[in-house]
Copies of this chain bind each other. A is one copy, B any other.
């Protein structure tokens, strides 16, 4: 059976080229239709969904490994990606026993034993531009697609918790630094940006105060162009000034300078 053979090869590959006991999980946020979306994967032959993730190569930096996984699932590079928490509870497999889970996922018995070691998982979250993503399943999954953040089903492992914490971190981050660069298309209107904020925060904001604050960051460039086609007054288009944007981000960043 082709699948089994491929699986065997994969297990071997993992054993020799990747770090045991550690993995990376990604909460990939996108924004579309006024809704915040998360990218999820469906396990082969089941109705079980989970977050995309990956393992760390022996010779690979942790961050690079997260970027690599992100690239493999979305086709995107150079986007906003940030570590938010490391999950290490023994019972990260809440709903059912882990061996059960793995069997349920259709892994043959010998593979179950290989994968059933408990992992510590480093959580990253990413903000990506919805339109540019080409959702791509991996070997273990046969579907990769966006889910509305409010309609995420019960996921495998502790992945629902991960999404909650990622969102919480994202919301906090929103309050002290700008966000939106990699979530919106190149040119966007102020109402677009506001809708993004409102969606992430789950509350509505005052239009005038919002605009004041955003312009106050000094990271937006107003274009001459306007966006016609809406049923009403044509709003101005804006673009991020990438240089200033990065500067503002860097000032408040947690990363080791």
Contact = CB atoms under 8 A, between A and B. Distances in A.
Contacts of A120: 19, 22, 56, 62, 120, 122
A147 interface: no
Nearest to A165: B256
A62 B121 CA distance: 10
A118 B118 CA distance: 19
Given A21-B22, A22-B22, A85-B254, A58 B118 contact: yes
Interface string A33-62: 000000000000000000000001011111
A62 B56 CA distance: 19
Contact of A86 (B20, B58, B86): B86
A254 B87 CA distance: 13
A90 B60 contact: yes
A208 to B, nearest CB: 27
A88 interface: yes
Range, interface on chain A: 20 to 34
Interface string A115-126: 000101010000
A19 B121 CA distance: 12
A244 interface: no
A89 interface: yes
Interface in A69-96: 83, 85-90
A161 B257 CA distance: 9
A64 to B, nearest CB: 9
Contacts of A22: 21-22, 88, 120
A254 to B, nearest CB: 7
Interface of A: 19-22, 56, 58-63, 65, 83, 85-90, 118, 120, 122, 161, 164-165, 168-169, 172, 254-256
Q: Which 3 residue pairs of A and B lie closest in terms of their CB atoms, listed nearest first?
A: A62-B88, A19-B21, A86-B86
19 contacts: A19-B20, A19-B118, A19-B120, A20-B20, A21-B21, A21-B22, A22-B88, A22-B120, A56-B88, A62-B87, A62-B88, A62-B89, A62-B120, A83-B85, A83-B86, A88-B122, A120-B122, A165-B255, A169-B254
